[in-house]
A and B are shown apart, each in its own frame.
Chain A
Amino acid sequence: GAGVSQSPSNKVTEKGKDVELRCDPISGHTALYWYRQSLGQGLEFLIYFQGNSAPDKSGLPSDRFSAERTGGSVSTLTIQRTQQEDSAVYLCASSLAGGTWRGSNQPQHFGDGTRLSIL
């Protein structure tokens, strides 16, 4: 079956522009995560959606970052007024819900990522 799909795969933009990154999770997965990997760094958590619950935005690095998830499926991560330090690979993952524990006992399935380069 189809895995997690992210688009675009690569995005190059000028500093100060806004960008939108899209994630299409596996059908039936109610948990959705956004992460990023900056050059030479590990996996950095950004935001987490679980069903109809309020998202966990605790990882968003600044108010230039926002995300939404429409209809419990597709998610869009928006970065406004991009800065060079926003350059990274942005990864989306989805999982089944884990009962009352918000998906934490289910493996995450990752997309191929969006490589964002800010000039």
Chain B
Amino acid sequence: ETGVTQTPRHLVMGMTNKKSLKCEQHLGHNAMYWYKQSAKKPLELMFVYNFKEQTENNSVPSRFSPECPNSSHLFLHLHTLQPEDSALYLCASSPKGVVGIGSPLHFGNGTRLTVT
């Protein structure tokens, strides 16, 4: 049990489908993040939410739409994806938005997404 739970663990979707990834944290943290992990590439930060407010959108295409209804839940809505969007999508949380000292990220186990 990592404290950060992601569902589903695996997802296969066609390019015309609409699906959502879910993340839930049980750590009482106030900041949540979406990262994309592709083979042989550094982790890419996608979105950051602090106290339910989006504070960073790292030039992510609009076919990815985040939603943060409260500090414990984070969603990533997907529509009309491309095959190159296939990757491991990782959710993370931290006590607050500053990770510099004593507040590292806590990651979920990720959702393995395959776009066909």
Q: Are A and B co-members of a single complex?
A: no
